[in-house]
Amino acid sequence: MKIAIASDHKGYHLKTTLITYLKKKGYEVLDLGTDSVISTDYPKYAFILGETVASGNVDFGIITCGTGIGVSIACNKVKGIRCSKVDNIKEAKLTRMDNNANVLALNGSMFSYKAKDIVDVFLNTAFSNSERHIKRLKMIADYEEGHYEC
């Protein structure tokens, strides 16, 4: 399995920890930056990661920033991305089972042991393929601003 990973400056340390962890587990990891704790703009890395995942060149993406919120918002601007900001293993499991999320966003200040548990669950949980979830994901994918009837 190939995983793309990126961060801004506030998520840099967690990103480097996760890269080492994922490689030890046998995953192929593509590091998309940033490469230091020098202040940078998180949307740049979120868009690069989102485009890489959407292209199909990797199986999943993981992105970190100060809270995980900004990068998740930016990633979700990329067509084909379903990025979830996750804080615990229950959310990691459900975002894969119900939403077929393909990008995981994490708070860069999260304890590494907790982040590793979340990453493991995210990467090892399959989409349920439930008809109701497929229908909802199609609604999201088909949405055009101003052209959706409730």
What would the pLDDT profile of 33-80 be if each residue is shown by its tens digit? 999 999 999 999 999 999 999 999 999 999 999 999 999 999 999 999
Which amino acid, one-letter code, is at 111?
A: F
What's this model's pTM, rounded to 2 decimal places?
Answer: 0.95
Domain limits, the chain: 2-142
Q: In this model, does residue 93 exceed pLDDT 80?
A: yes
Helical packing angle, 89-97 and 112-124, nearest 10°: 20
Query: 106-132 in b/e burial notation, b at 16+ Cβ within 10 A?
Result: bbbebeeeebbebbebbbebebeeeee
**Percent of all residues in the chain with a pLDDT value above 90, rounded to a whole number:** 91
Sheet holding 83-85, edge to edge: 28-31, 2-7, 60-65, 103-107, 83-85
Q: In this model, does residue 146 exceed pLDDT 90?
A: no
Topology of the domain comprising 2-142: Ribose 5-phosphate Isomerase B; Chain: A, (3.40.1400)
Nearest to 123 by CA among 82, 72, 71, 62: 62
What pLDDT is stored for residue 140 in this prediction?
A: 86
What pLDDT is stored for residue 147 in this prediction?
A: 66
